[in-house]
Every structure is written in structure tokens, then in C-alpha cells.
Amino acid sequence: MELEPNQPLGIFDSGLGGLTVASAIKQLLPDERIIYFGDTAHLPYGDKSADSIIYYSRKIADFLLTYNCKTILVACNTASATAFTELHRIFGDKALVIDVIDPVVSYVTEKFPASKIGVIGTKNTINSNTYTLKIREKNPGAEVVSMAAPLLVPMIEEGFIYDDISNAIIRTYLSNELLEGIEVMILGCTHYPIIRNQIRKYYDFRVEVIDSAEIVARHLKEKLASENLLAGSRQDEDLFFVSDFTDYFGKIGRMFFDSSINLLKSDIWK
């Protein structure tokens, strides 16, 4: 199937975390149209089985392709670690299938080859060992430590940010001795950039905290340019779908996109 520049970008996540990626893409590529799906009915993906995550991801990819999307951007670390290979196998001839892990790994191994690297993410992302394996594949001598932080996604989805509750949870995780001495922190979940400043503040701004959203946006732009698929002019309005309405999704969407986003519910599981 031949793709066209003016087809929209398809992006999905388990919830609102992927909005960090969508926002970075919109700032870098304002002419592109975004079709976003947040699977709020099933979040968090971090404690789901691999079979469930692959099933959800396939259904969402099918949905995005009904809008003729030129990309299926898996803006979820858990789905990237668990379902990306299967999505690429099934949909790779219909759209550009892009994950959020590989661009970050390339960036970190190039910019910080001799640093001690910490990774925090959901249980599934950390248990998959994907970041460690991919980093050491590019840099066999890399020192990488990783730790699951399962409360951070529901905390963010429930709106507990910039308050005593979120600060206490963040402090509890980051004070773990496993992360002692890290020089670089990879936020292995697209929800986490929302609390990036709190994490940076915990480390007194001495640790390089990687914003995956900006890195993925730059990678996407390079990929689209190499395939001659950059939109040449402003397209139709963006669409944001959720599998279940949550009040906080709209609030975060407005925070990132400076206006009331067009939020629609779609039950794609029937």
C-alpha cells in the first residue's frame, strides 16, 4: 500500500500519557493531523498479560486504520515492549509502525555512553528488560538499573500531580537504593513526562531526566521526511478518542493543546 503525505498520524496509548507524545509532535509538526486513541477502559497496561496487551493493541491499530492513518505510533512503553513486533508484522505493509523505546535507546546511548542509566516504568515494561537489552546491544558496557513504579500511572490518571501525595510517591520510588548514583534517568512510560519537573527537582537537577516525548517526535519527523510523507499543508482537525470517558483526560488535553480538544468515546471492543 502506498502512503500519502496528507494521511493523518495514528497514535495510541493506554490512557492520557501518550498526549505528551502527541503534544510534542504537534509542536514540531503543526501541519500534521492527529488521530489519537486512549484506551482508558483498560488502563493501566502495566499489570495486564502480554496476550491482553497484544489484543488491545491490534484492535486499536485496526481502528486507526479506519481513519486511513499513515502511522501507528505506539505511544506506550508497555505496548511497545510487548506488542510492537506483532503490530509491525501485521500492519507494517499498511502504515509506518513506530515504537517509543528504540528512539530513546538510540538517543541515550549516543549522548551518554559512559553514564550510569536508570529506568523507571510499569511492571510489564521493566520485567520485559527491553530497555536494558536494547541499551546493552548498542553499548555492551553500559551500566543500567531499572525499577518498576506501578503507582505512578494511576496517580497521574487520577490527577494527583504537583501535590503532597504525588511528591510522597515519587520520593518513595526514587529514594530506592537501586537507583543510587544514576546520572541519567529514562522515563520509561509516556505518562511520566507530566511529572518530569518533580523528578528533576527530587534529584536537585543533577540527573539528566530524559523526555521521551520530544525524542520520539524528532524521530517521527526524520522518518516521515525520509519516506517523503511530511504533510505539505495544515490538515483537518485532530481527533481524540477514548474507550471510556475520564474527566482528567480532557483537563490534561487542554493543558497540552491550549484549547478544548475534540474528545470522543468509541467502544471498539464490540
Cα–Cα dist 94/92, whole Å: 5
* pLDDT tier at 269, thresholds 50, 70, 90: confident
* 102-212 belongs to CATH 3.40.50.10300: no
Question: What does the pLDDT average to over 123-128?
Answer: 95
Catalytic residue, from 105, 189, 194, 216: name it: 189
Residues 6 or more apart in contact with residue 270 via CB below 8 angstroms: none
Catalytic residue, from 11, 43, 73, 76: name it: 76
Q: Which three cell numbers stand for residue 65?
A: 486504520
Q: Is 69 a catalytic residue?
A: no
Q: Is 189 a catalytic residue?
A: yes
Helix 247-257 / helix 19-28 crossing angle, nearest 10 deg: 20
The mean pLDDT of the chain is 94
- The ranges of the chain annotated as CATH 3.40.50.1860 are 9-99+214-265, 102-212
Confirm if 191 and 166 have CB atoms less than 8 A apart: no
Q: CA 198, 199, 203, 206 torsion: positive or negative?
A: negative
Domain 9-99+214-265: which CATH class? Answer: alpha beta
For residue 258, pLDDT beyond 70: no
Cα–Cα dist 155/161, whole Å: 7
Q: What angle do CA 44, 213, 190 make, to 5 degrees?
A: 10
